[in-house]
Amino acid sequence: MNGYICEKCHDMGFVLVDKDGAEVAVRCECQAKRLSMLRLKRSGISEELQKKGFNDFDCRGMEVLKTAKNKAKGYYQNFLLSEGDRHNSIILCGQPGAGKTHLGMAICNNLLNVCGVEIAYMAYRNAMTAIKQTVTDKDGYYKAIGTYCNARLLYIDDLLKGRQTEADLNILYELVNYRYMHKKPMVISTEKTPEELVGVDEAIGSRIMEMCRRYTVVLQGKELNYRLYS
Protein backbone atom coordinates (compact mmCIF):
# COMPACT_ATOMS: atom_id res chain seq x y z
CA MET A 1 0.00 0.00 0.00
CA ASN A 2 1.32 3.41 -0.94
CA GLY A 3 -1.76 5.42 -0.03
CA TYR A 4 -2.85 6.44 -3.53
CA ILE A 5 -6.53 6.20 -4.44
CA CYS A 6 -5.60 5.71 -8.10
CA GLU A 7 -2.66 3.43 -8.78
CA LYS A 8 -2.55 4.49 -12.42
CA CYS A 9 -1.97 8.21 -12.06
CA HIS A 10 -1.02 8.41 -8.36
CA ASP A 11 -3.90 10.88 -7.93
CA MET A 12 -2.45 13.35 -10.41
CA GLY A 13 -5.56 13.07 -12.60
CA PHE A 14 -3.55 12.52 -15.78
CA VAL A 15 -1.16 9.97 -17.20
CA LEU A 16 1.62 10.36 -19.75
CA VAL A 17 1.27 8.37 -22.95
CA ASP A 18 3.43 8.08 -26.00
CA LYS A 19 2.11 9.88 -29.06
CA ASP A 20 4.25 9.87 -32.19
CA GLY A 21 7.39 9.59 -30.12
CA ALA A 22 6.46 12.38 -27.70
CA GLU A 23 5.01 12.07 -24.22
CA VAL A 24 1.61 13.75 -23.84
CA ALA A 25 -0.61 14.06 -20.77
CA VAL A 26 -4.13 12.59 -21.03
CA ARG A 27 -6.93 12.57 -18.49
CA CYS A 28 -6.77 9.44 -16.33
CA GLU A 29 -9.86 7.23 -16.39
CA CYS A 30 -10.26 7.72 -12.61
CA GLN A 31 -11.38 11.31 -13.33
CA ALA A 32 -14.73 10.26 -14.80
CA LYS A 33 -15.46 8.48 -11.56
CA ARG A 34 -14.28 11.39 -9.42
CA LEU A 35 -16.49 13.83 -11.33
CA SER A 36 -19.51 11.53 -11.09
CA MET A 37 -19.03 11.10 -7.35
CA LEU A 38 -18.90 14.87 -6.93
CA ARG A 39 -22.08 15.31 -8.97
CA LEU A 40 -23.77 12.55 -7.01
CA LYS A 41 -22.91 14.28 -3.76
CA ARG A 42 -24.38 17.56 -5.01
CA SER A 43 -27.46 15.99 -6.62
CA GLY A 44 -29.56 15.56 -3.50
CA ILE A 45 -29.80 11.78 -4.00
CA SER A 46 -29.63 10.16 -0.58
CA GLU A 47 -26.55 8.35 0.70
CA GLU A 48 -28.66 5.27 1.22
CA LEU A 49 -29.50 5.18 -2.50
CA GLN A 50 -25.88 5.73 -3.42
CA LYS A 51 -25.10 2.26 -2.07
CA LYS A 52 -27.92 0.33 -3.75
CA GLY A 53 -27.04 -2.71 -5.85
CA PHE A 54 -28.92 -5.51 -7.60
CA ASN A 55 -28.23 -8.06 -4.87
CA ASP A 56 -30.01 -6.09 -2.17
CA PHE A 57 -33.14 -5.58 -4.30
CA ASP A 58 -35.85 -7.65 -2.66
CA CYS A 59 -38.31 -9.14 -5.19
CA ARG A 60 -40.60 -10.24 -2.31
CA GLY A 61 -41.49 -13.36 -4.30
CA MET A 62 -43.28 -11.29 -6.96
CA GLU A 63 -42.83 -12.16 -10.64
CA VAL A 64 -43.30 -8.55 -11.74
CA LEU A 65 -40.41 -7.46 -9.53
CA LYS A 66 -38.19 -10.34 -10.68
CA THR A 67 -38.83 -9.34 -14.30
CA ALA A 68 -38.07 -5.70 -13.48
CA LYS A 69 -34.82 -6.64 -11.77
CA ASN A 70 -33.72 -8.86 -14.67
CA LYS A 71 -34.48 -6.11 -17.15
CA ALA A 72 -32.48 -3.57 -15.17
CA LYS A 73 -29.59 -5.98 -14.81
CA GLY A 74 -29.73 -6.81 -18.51
CA TYR A 75 -29.58 -3.12 -19.34
CA TYR A 76 -26.46 -2.74 -17.21
CA GLN A 77 -24.80 -5.81 -18.74
CA ASN A 78 -25.48 -4.66 -22.31
CA PHE A 79 -24.74 -0.99 -21.72
CA LEU A 80 -21.30 -0.83 -23.28
CA LEU A 81 -22.39 -2.81 -26.34
CA SER A 82 -25.49 -0.76 -27.13
CA GLU A 83 -24.42 2.63 -25.83
CA GLY A 84 -24.44 4.28 -29.28
CA ASP A 85 -27.75 2.73 -30.41
CA ARG A 86 -31.06 4.55 -30.87
CA HIS A 87 -32.60 2.35 -28.14
CA ASN A 88 -29.89 2.75 -25.50
CA SER A 89 -31.95 3.96 -22.54
CA ILE A 90 -34.15 2.51 -19.80
CA ILE A 91 -37.29 3.84 -18.13
CA LEU A 92 -38.65 2.55 -14.83
CA CYS A 93 -42.29 3.64 -14.46
CA GLY A 94 -44.57 3.11 -11.55
CA GLN A 95 -46.02 4.12 -8.29
CA PRO A 96 -44.05 5.24 -5.24
CA GLY A 97 -42.57 2.44 -3.18
CA ALA A 98 -42.29 -0.10 -5.99
CA GLY A 99 -38.50 0.04 -6.02
CA LYS A 100 -37.86 1.84 -9.32
CA THR A 101 -35.35 4.30 -7.87
CA HIS A 102 -33.50 1.42 -6.23
CA LEU A 103 -33.14 -0.32 -9.62
CA GLY A 104 -32.18 2.89 -11.40
CA MET A 105 -29.48 3.60 -8.85
CA ALA A 106 -28.26 -0.02 -8.96
CA ILE A 107 -27.66 0.42 -12.71
CA CYS A 108 -25.81 3.71 -12.18
CA ASN A 109 -23.77 2.49 -9.22
CA ASN A 110 -22.57 -0.54 -11.18
CA LEU A 111 -21.79 1.42 -14.34
CA LEU A 112 -19.85 3.95 -12.30
CA ASN A 113 -17.98 1.57 -10.02
CA VAL A 114 -17.38 -1.35 -12.37
CA CYS A 115 -17.13 0.35 -15.77
CA GLY A 116 -16.05 3.88 -14.81
CA VAL A 117 -18.92 5.43 -16.81
CA GLU A 118 -19.27 9.19 -16.22
CA ILE A 119 -22.77 9.97 -14.95
CA ALA A 120 -24.80 13.11 -14.24
CA TYR A 121 -27.54 12.75 -11.62
CA MET A 122 -30.66 14.82 -12.00
CA ALA A 123 -33.10 14.92 -9.10
CA TYR A 124 -35.79 16.25 -11.45
CA ARG A 125 -37.72 18.77 -9.36
CA ASN A 126 -34.65 20.31 -7.69
CA ALA A 127 -32.69 20.41 -10.91
CA MET A 128 -35.52 22.10 -12.82
CA THR A 129 -35.86 24.77 -10.13
CA ALA A 130 -32.12 25.42 -10.30
CA ILE A 131 -32.07 25.59 -14.12
CA LYS A 132 -35.08 27.94 -14.22
CA GLN A 133 -33.26 30.36 -11.94
CA THR A 134 -30.65 30.80 -14.66
CA VAL A 135 -32.89 31.40 -17.69
CA THR A 136 -32.23 35.14 -17.82
CA ASP A 137 -28.47 34.53 -17.84
CA LYS A 138 -27.49 32.75 -21.03
CA ASP A 139 -24.06 31.53 -19.87
CA GLY A 140 -25.45 30.35 -16.55
CA TYR A 141 -28.27 28.56 -18.28
CA TYR A 142 -26.04 26.64 -20.67
CA LYS A 143 -23.73 25.76 -17.84
CA ALA A 144 -26.63 24.45 -15.75
CA ILE A 145 -28.23 22.41 -18.51
CA GLY A 146 -24.92 21.50 -20.17
CA THR A 147 -23.90 18.96 -17.55
CA TYR A 148 -27.15 17.07 -18.07
CA CYS A 149 -26.88 17.32 -21.87
CA ASN A 150 -23.30 16.22 -22.21
CA ALA A 151 -22.65 13.60 -19.52
CA ARG A 152 -21.98 10.17 -20.95
CA LEU A 153 -24.96 8.83 -19.01
CA LEU A 154 -27.80 10.86 -17.49
CA TYR A 155 -29.88 9.57 -14.62
CA ILE A 156 -33.20 11.39 -14.13
CA ASP A 157 -34.95 10.59 -10.88
CA ASP A 158 -38.69 11.27 -10.65
CA LEU A 159 -39.12 12.71 -14.13
CA LEU A 160 -42.15 15.05 -14.43
CA LYS A 161 -42.79 15.05 -10.69
CA GLY A 162 -45.12 17.84 -9.60
CA ARG A 163 -46.89 20.39 -11.77
CA GLN A 164 -45.17 21.28 -15.02
CA THR A 165 -45.09 24.82 -16.31
CA GLU A 166 -44.43 25.70 -19.92
CA ALA A 167 -40.91 26.75 -18.88
CA ASP A 168 -40.31 23.30 -17.36
CA LEU A 169 -41.41 21.57 -20.54
CA ASN A 170 -39.29 23.83 -22.75
CA ILE A 171 -36.18 23.07 -20.74
CA LEU A 172 -36.96 19.36 -20.62
CA TYR A 173 -37.54 19.26 -24.37
CA GLU A 174 -34.21 20.91 -25.02
CA LEU A 175 -32.47 18.36 -22.80
CA VAL A 176 -34.26 15.26 -24.08
CA ASN A 177 -33.99 16.30 -27.72
CA TYR A 178 -30.26 16.94 -27.37
CA ARG A 179 -29.65 13.50 -25.91
CA TYR A 180 -31.96 11.93 -28.49
CA MET A 181 -30.16 13.59 -31.41
CA HIS A 182 -26.73 12.64 -30.08
CA LYS A 183 -27.80 9.12 -29.04
CA LYS A 184 -26.73 9.67 -25.47
CA PRO A 185 -28.25 7.19 -23.01
CA MET A 186 -30.54 7.93 -20.07
CA VAL A 187 -31.75 5.99 -17.05
CA ILE A 188 -35.13 7.39 -16.00
CA SER A 189 -37.44 6.78 -13.07
CA THR A 190 -40.93 8.27 -13.04
CA GLU A 191 -44.35 7.86 -11.46
CA LYS A 192 -45.94 8.44 -14.87
CA THR A 193 -46.96 5.55 -17.11
CA PRO A 194 -45.63 5.62 -20.69
CA GLU A 195 -49.09 6.79 -21.86
CA GLU A 196 -49.16 9.61 -19.32
CA LEU A 197 -45.66 10.64 -20.31
CA VAL A 198 -46.70 11.03 -23.95
CA GLY A 199 -49.91 12.73 -22.77
CA VAL A 200 -48.01 15.42 -20.85
CA ASP A 201 -45.93 16.32 -23.91
CA GLU A 202 -45.88 14.29 -27.07
CA ALA A 203 -42.55 15.55 -28.41
CA ILE A 204 -40.77 14.77 -25.15
CA GLY A 205 -42.63 11.56 -24.36
CA SER A 206 -42.30 9.98 -27.79
CA ARG A 207 -38.54 10.61 -27.92
CA ILE A 208 -38.05 9.11 -24.47
CA MET A 209 -40.18 6.07 -25.26
CA GLU A 210 -38.30 5.47 -28.48
CA MET A 211 -34.96 5.59 -26.66
CA CYS A 212 -36.35 3.21 -24.02
CA ARG A 213 -38.12 0.86 -26.44
CA ARG A 214 -36.01 -2.14 -25.47
CA TYR A 215 -36.05 -1.40 -21.76
CA THR A 216 -39.42 -0.22 -20.49
CA VAL A 217 -40.41 -1.37 -17.02
CA VAL A 218 -43.87 -0.59 -15.61
CA LEU A 219 -44.58 -1.34 -11.96
CA GLN A 220 -48.23 -0.89 -11.08
CA GLY A 221 -50.53 -2.22 -8.37
CA LYS A 222 -50.65 -1.18 -4.74
CA GLU A 223 -49.35 -4.55 -3.52
CA LEU A 224 -45.99 -3.39 -4.94
CA ASN A 225 -45.58 -0.62 -2.37
CA TYR A 226 -43.04 -2.02 0.08
CA ARG A 227 -43.60 0.91 2.42
CA LEU A 228 -47.18 -0.28 2.96
CA TYR A 229 -46.79 -4.04 2.72
CA SER A 230 -43.55 -5.03 4.38
> Distance from CA of residue 107 to its chain's centroid?
8
Inter-CA distances, 34 with 22, 38, 112, 148, 225, Å = 28, 6, 10, 17, 34
> Distance from CA of residue 123 to its chain's centroid?
10
**Does 127 interact with Zn ion (rule: CB under 5 A)?**
no
User: Order of strands, edge to edge, in the sheet holding 216-219?
Assistant: 119-123, 153-157, 186-190, 90-94, 216-219
CB of 24 to Zn ion, least distance (A): 16
CB of 116 to Zn ion, least distance (A): 10
Q: Which stretch in 7-15, 76-84, 141-149, 201-209 sits in contact with Zn ion by CB under 5 A?
A: 7-15
CB of 108 to Zn ion, least distance (A): 21
Inter-CA distances, 199 with 53, 62, 151, 164, 205, Å = 32, 30, 27, 12, 8
Question: Quick one: which of 1, 3, 4, 9 contacts Zn ion (CB under 5 A)?
Answer: 9
Question: Quick one: which of 4, 8, 51, 77 contacts Zn ion (CB under 5 A)?
Answer: 8
**Does 28 interact with Zn ion (rule: CB under 5 A)?**
yes
Question: Quick one: which of 19, 20, 30, 104 contacts Zn ion (CB under 5 A)?
Answer: 30
Q: How many residues bind Zn ion (CB under 5 A)?
A: 5
CB of 51 to Zn ion, least distance (A): 23
Please report, as ranges, the residues that interact with Zn ion according to CB under 5 A: 6, 8-9, 28, 30
